[in-house]
A and B are shown apart, each in its own frame.
Chain A
Amino acid sequence: MSSSIGANCTELKARYDSCFNKWYSEKFLKGSTETECEDLLKEYKACVMTIIKEKQIDKLLAEARKESPFPSSSSTSS
């Protein structure tokens, strides 16, 4: 499993990733649209966001995400 950009988020990332990988292969690919691992993702994301602010890439990121990459995309977030 790869590291997080912030070294102190790697443990949270590992826990979330293993939950996601299991869900992706065992549920999502078999037709389920019910998400799981949401609490783990929330905790992990909060950690990553502090790193993004620290490294001052939040503005670059906001700029890049203004352009929606897929025409079908709505602005839903998890």
Chain B
Amino acid sequence: LNIPNSSICFPRHPWQNVTYAFWLRYPNPFASHVIGADVLERSVDPVTGVLRTTRLLLKSGVLPKWAPKGIVKSPETFVIEESEVDPKTHTMITRTKNLSHARVMQVEETQIVKLSPENPEWTTVRTEARVISRFGWGLTQRIERFGAKRFADNTARVRICDCSFLMFSAWPNLRYF
């Protein structure tokens, strides 16, 4: 089973600033769950001029009350983030997924950051997430629904920020564990 979710946002900031803010988004008070972030690989494709980055993020987290004891050893989660920035087409794509606890719940989040078709000084951010649990014992659906709801809640919080600069502070939304 896989529960797709998506949301779209229109920050009134130029694309360049939005992508720059992406690299600067931690630490911030809206994402205190992110403990650390490290670059593992980074290169510019000599042919296309696209910047590719792989980062490793470490997050703290809390388990839901109904989770069986010992379902995960530690609520800390490592998340891998892959991104591509194409300055020619004004497109940034980021993909994140959790490395730890992937058997319990795997969350894959994609974000596409483009120039707004309405105004070249604005930006469009589309977010999509997939929640997959391979865990047995009749908990799979519950875990997936929990994951999907957390995504919706976090996205709602982001919307309250009215797609301003602040929305990047909660990015990625992966607060699950």
Contacts and interface: CB of A to CB of B under 8 A. Distances in A.
Are both chains from one complex?
yes
Interface of A: 1-6, 9, 13, 16-17, 20-21, 24-25, 28-29, 31, 33-35, 41, 44-45, 48, 52, 57, 60-61, 64-65, 69-70, 72-74, 76-78
Report which residue of A3, A45, A65, A69 has the largest number of chain B beta carbons within 10 angstroms of its beta carbon: A69
Nearest to A77: B41
Interface band, chain B: 35 or more
Contact of B27 (A3, A9, A69, A78): A3
A73 B20 CA distance: 22
Contacts of A6: 36, 38
Contact of B80 (A45, A65, A70): A65
A60 to B, nearest CB: 4
A32 to B, nearest CB: 9
Given A28-B87, A29-B16, A9 B38 contact: yes
A25 B50 CA distance: 15
Interface in B43-59: 43-46, 48-52, 54, 56, 58
Contact of A5 (B38, B44, B80, B102): B38
Given A24-B20, A64-B99, A2 B78 contact: no
B128 interface: no
A77 B56 CA distance: 15
A45 B23 contact: no
B80 A2 contact: no
Contacts of B84: 70, 72-73
Contacts of B85: 28
B61 to A, nearest CB: 15
Nearest to A48: B38
B13 interface: no
A61 B99 contact: yes
B43 A76 contact: yes
Interface in B72-102: 78, 80, 82, 84-85, 87, 93, 95, 97, 99-100, 102
Contacts of B95: 69-70
A53 B135 CA distance: 27
B82 A69 contact: yes
Contact of A31 (B37, B87, B99): B87
Contacts of A52: 56
Report which residue of A3, A9, A25, A73 has the largest number of chain B beta carbons within 10 angstroms of its beta carbon: A3
